[in-house]
Amino acid sequence: MKTISEARGTLVTTLADDWGSDIATLKGVPWGKVMMWVFLVSDTFIFTCFLVGYMSVRMSTIEPWPNPSEVFALHAFGVSVPLLLIAIMTFILISSSGTMAMAVNMGYQRRKKAATNLILVTALLGAMFVGMQAFEWSKLILDEGVRPWTNPFGAPQFGAVFFMVTGFHGLHVSAGVIYLLTIAFRIRRGKYDESDFEIVEISGLYWHFVDLVWVFIFALFYLW
């Protein structure tokens, strides 16, 4: 049975050592982090299946697919700026990822107040994202007449895919906001004082995943 120091070798020997060792395969990785990563892999499959459904429907339909640049354009200063709102939303989500990464760093430095505040900022940015998505939805539903079963721009599945995919993503972001708020308050209450504050990293993983999914949605749905 090797000690951990002995087990650390070259990259490939570490792989074989890890998988061949007793007690834990992923040395030094807290249980919560393993669980979060495995959950994120599973969630990746969910979003990929949604996007495969989107791809399938879009590729097989005879009717022309609406142009997202036009559908999601905003009128600003008298000019129609394509995908303006989406660009702002992307900016906000990336910003929130950045604040989250810094929160994780603060957490490991045991700077509770800084970590809590950064988490709260992240949650706030996330809430803003959801708010904008809700605005987007209401604009499409009320102003443009887009419905899950039909829309004036082209193939009827456009609305269905849009609401389904952004809906699930929005649900994940909302759940993430609640999760982050919970973590922030628990840190402040001192619940994690005995630990290394790995909980911040674990919740950070979830938040970055939400951003990651948005990267794919942005590219494949809005830009394609």
Partner 1 sequence: MTKETGQRHPIRIYLVVWGLLFLVSALSYSTDFLDRGFWRWTLILLFMVLKAGFIVAVFMHMRWERLALMSVVLVPPVLLMVLVGLMTIESDYTRSMRIEHFETAIPGEAMPVVEREIRNRRPD
Partner 2 sequence: MTEIEVPYQETIGVRHPRSWITRYWFSQDHKVIAVQYGVTAIAVGLVALVLSGLMRIQIGFPGLLPFITPDVYYQAVTMHGMIMVIFLLTAFLLGAFGNFCVPLMLGARDMVFPFVNMLSYHVYLLSVVVLMASYFVPGGPTGAGWTLYPPQAILPGTPGVDWGIVTMLLSLIIFVVAFTMGGLNYITTILQARTRGMTLMRMPLTVWGIMMATVLGLLAFPALFVSGVMMLLDKLVGTSFFMPAIVSFGQPLEHSGGSPLLFQHLFWFFGHPEVYIVALPAFGVVSELISVHSRKNIFGYRMMVWALVAIGALSFVVWAHHMYVAGMHPYFGFFFATTTLIIAVPTAIKVYNWVLTLWKANIKLTVPMLFALAFILTFVVGGLSGLFLGNVIIDVPLSDTYFVVAHFHMVMGVAPILVIFGGIYHWYPKLTGRMLNNTLGQLHFWVTFLGTYAIYYPMHYLGFIGVPRRYYANGMESDFYPESAATLNEFITIAALVVGLMQFVFVYNLIASYFRGKAAGSNPWEATTLEWQTPNTPPSHGNWGDTLPTVHRWAYDYSVPDEDQDFIPQNVEHT
Per-residue exposure over 79-93, b if at least 16 CB sit within 10 Å of its own CB, e if not: eeeebebbeebbebb
Which 8-state DSSP code applies to residue 80? E
Whether 154 and 55 have beta carbons less than 8 Å apart is answered as: no
Q: Going residue by residue from 17 to 36, which x/- string records binding to partner 1, judged by CB under 8 A?
A: -xx----xxxxxxxx--x--
Among 88-96, 112-120, 139-147, 166-174, the segment contacting partner 1 (CB under 8 A): 88-96
> Per residue, what are the HEC states of 166-200?
HHHHHHHHHHHHHHHHHHHHHHHHCCCCCCCCHHH
What angle in degrees, to the nearest 10, is found between the helix axes of 198-217 and 112-138?
20
Of 58 and 111, nearer to partner 2 (C-beta) is: 58
Both tokens of 221, joined, read 């749905």
**Taking CB under 8 A as the rule, does residue 49 contact partner 2?**
yes
**Taking CB under 8 A as the rule, does residue 91 contact partner 1?**
yes
Q: Going residue by residue from 54 to 83, which x/- string records binding to partner 2, judged by CB under 8 A?
A: --xx--xxxx--------------------
Query: What does the alpha-carbon distance between residue 129 and residue 86 come to, in Å, rounded to a whole number?
Result: 10
**Taking CB under 8 A as the rule, does residue 179 contact partner 1?**
no
**Taking CB under 8 A as the rule, does residue 196 contact partner 1?**
yes
Look at the block and give the residue holding tokens 């895919």.
161
Measured from the CB of residue 41, what is the shortest distance to partner 2 in angstroms?
A: 7
Whether 221 and 83 have beta carbons less than 8 Å apart is answered as: no
Question: Quick one: which of 149, 189, 190, 194 contacts partner 2 (CB under 8 A)?
Answer: 149
- Count of Cβ atoms closer than 10 Å to residue 20 Cβ: 10
Summarize as ranges the residues that interact with partner 1 (CB under 8 A): 4, 11-12, 14-15, 18-19, 24-31, 34, 37-38, 40-41, 44-45, 48-49, 52, 55-62, 64, 69, 82-83, 87, 90-91, 94, 97-98, 100-102, 104-105, 107-109, 196-198, 201, 204-205, 208-209, 211-212, 215-216, 218-220, 223-224
